[in-house]
Structures are given as structure tokens and as C-alpha cells.
Amino acid sequence: DVKVTQSSRYLVKRTGEKVFLECVQDMDHENMFWYRQDPGLGLRLIYFSYDVKMKEKGDIPEGYSVSREKKERFSLILESASTNQTSMYLCASSTQGLLNTEAFFGQGTRLTVV
């Protein structure tokens, strides 16, 4: 069974902390994505990566960075957490080069910044 695994289901962090959200996929997918999900706003793309060490900004990259040192792992970093980054974070992966490629999602990390 294919899998995208996020390291935590729930996290509570303090304002100003550096926060790492980890995502691992076991499908040998080239593409990996980080989204945040907020009520009324749907899914918004933060960053994505189409290869090791490659990254592209999504729609809302401010306040975030990412790291992809290995193909199977994509990390989202909040350099200095703020309360407006309280949200549900979703990681996804997909293959490249296929028009009908679908995204596979992790179970989500609900982050609360206090």
C-alpha cells in the first residue's frame, strides 16, 4: 500500500520557535508538495519540489522554507513560528511526466502556535 507519512498528527509550539514538519513517501515519487488548509480558504500551496535539492515557491511561501536532501523526504520549516501559522499542514507526492498523475496525501499535521 502506498504511503505518505507525516511525522506528527498534532503539534503545539510557542511563538518564535523554529518548527520542523517532516514528510516521507515510499513510492519513489519525484514531486512533493506542502499545503496548508484553512477554513474557507481550501488548500494553498506553500512550496513544492520536483527533484532532490530543487524547490519552487507556491502561492504562500512567506515565513516558510523547505528542504529536500533525499528523494523520499520533504521537510517544511517555520523559521520563527507565529500565531497566524496555526493551521492544518498537508504533505503530498506525485509522479512526473504523466498527464493523469494523481497526488497522494499524508494524514496531515495540525499545528497550533501559542
Partner 1 sequence: GDSVTQMEGPVTLSEEAFLTINCTYTATGYPSLFWYVQYPGEGLQLLLKATKADDKGSNKGFEATYRKETTSFHLEKGSVQVSDSAVYFCALSAGMNRDDKIIFGKGTRLHILP
In the complex, the smallest distance separating the C-beta of residue 21 from partner 1, rounded to whole angstroms, is 13
Cα–Cα distance list, 66 to 3, 19, 32, 61 (Å): 20, 11, 11, 9
- The residue from 4, 24, 76, 111 that contacts partner 1 (CB under 8 A) is 4
Does residue 76 bind partner 1 (CB under 8 A)? no
Q: What type of residue is 47?
A: Y
Does residue 83 bind partner 1 (CB under 8 A)? no
Beta carbon nearer to partner 1, 42 or 83: 42
The answer to whether residues 55 and 68 touch, using CB atoms and an 8 Å cutoff, is: yes
Take residue 42 and report the three cell numbers written for it: 481550501
Q: How many CB atoms lie within 10 A of CB 31?
A: 17
Q: Per CB under 8 A, which region of 14-22, 51-59, 62-70, 77-85 contacts partner 1?
A: 51-59
In the complex, the smallest distance separating the C-beta of residue 30 from partner 1, rounded to whole angstroms, is 7
Chain CA centroid to CA 69, Å: 14
Binding site for partner 1 (CB under 8 A): 4, 30-31, 33, 35, 40-43, 45, 48, 50-51, 56, 58, 90, 92, 94, 96-108
